[in-house]
Chains A and B, each alone.
Chain A
Amino acid sequence: MHFDLRVRKISDQNQRPKTKDPGSKIVMKLLREILFPLIAVIAAFIVGGIIVLIIGDSPIQTYRLLIGSAFSWPDGIGYTLFYATPLIFTGLAVAVAFRCGLLNIGAEGQLYIGAFATAWVGIKLAGTSAWILLPLCCLVAIVGGAIWGGIPGLLKARFGSHEVINTIMLNFIAVALVSYFTQYHYKVPGDPILQTTTIGPTAHIARLGKFIPGLPERIPLNVAFILAIIACAFVYVLLWKTKWGYEIRATGANPSAAEYGGISIRKQIILAMAISGGLAGMVGINEVLGYRYRYYDGFSANYGFVGIAVALLGRNHPVGVFLAAILFAILLRGGIFVDAYTVHVSKDIVDMLQGIVIVFVAAEAAFRGPIKKFGLMRRAKV
Chain B
Amino acid sequence: MRQIFTISLLFSTIRLATPLVLAAIGGLYSERSGVINIALEGLMLAGAFAAASITFYAHNSWIGLLAAMVAGAMVAYIIALACIRFKADQVVTGTGINIMFIGLPAVLSGALFLSSGSTPQIPKENLLPTLNHLLPSFLPQWRIITEISIISLFALIFVFITRYVLYRTPFGLRLRAVGENPEAADAAGVSVNRLRYIGVLLSGVFAGIGGAYLSIGQSSLFTRNMTAGRGFIALAALIFGKWRPVQTMLACLLFGFADALTIQLQGVPVSEGFLRSAVFVAGLLVTMFIVYQLSFIRARAVRIGIGLIIGVALGLTIGYFGVRGIGQMELPVQFIQMIPYIVTIIVLAGFIGQSRAPRALGTAYQKER
Contact = CB atoms under 8 A, between A and B. Distances in A.
Contacts of B36: 164
B38 interface: yes
A176 to B, nearest CB: 4
Contacts of B92: 103, 308, 312, 358, 361-362
B232 A172 contact: yes
Given A166-B345, A172-B338, A180-B332, A353 B111 contact: no
Contacts of B107: 51, 55, 345-346, 348-349, 352
A351 B341 contact: no
A105 B100 CA distance: 16
B338 A362 contact: no
Contacts of A359: 78, 82, 88, 93, 96-97, 100
Contacts of A344: 110-111
Interface string A50-83: 0100011000000000000000000000000000
B89 interface: yes
Contacts, number: 162
A309 interface: yes
Interface string B222-250: 00000001001001100100000000000
A172 B229 CA distance: 8
A165 B116 contact: no
A155 interface: yes
A358 B236 contact: no
B108 interface: yes
Contacts of A352: 100, 103-104, 107
A348 B93 contact: no
Contacts of A160: 350
A365 B86 contact: yes
A362 B239 contact: no
Contacts of B103: 348-355
Chain A interface main SS type: helix
A351 B108 CA distance: 13
B106 A351 contact: yes
A124 interface: no
Contacts of B239: 165
A115 B20 CA distance: 31
* Size bin of chain A's contact surface: 35 or more
A247 B101 CA distance: 38
A165 B110 contact: no
B86 A308 contact: no
Contacts of B86: 363-366
Given A351-B102, A358-B93, A173 B338 contact: yes
Interface string A312-326: 100000000000000
A355 B236 contact: no
B91 interface: yes
A288 interface: no
A260 interface: no
B101 A155 contact: no
A324 to B, nearest CB: 14
B135 to A, nearest CB: 39
Contacts of B83: 363
Interface in A26-71: 51, 55-56
B88 A362 contact: yes
Contacts of A302: 99, 102
B348 A161 contact: yes
A108 B342 CA distance: 17
Interface of B: 36, 38, 42, 78, 81-83, 85-89, 91-93, 95-104, 106-108, 110-111, 116-117, 229, 232, 235-236, 239, 293, 332, 334-335, 337-338, 341-342, 344-345, 348-350, 357
Nearest 5 Cβ contacts at the A-B interface: A355-B100, A351-B103, A358-B96, A352-B103, A348-B106
5 contacts: A180-B334, A302-B102, A346-B106, A346-B111, A366-B82
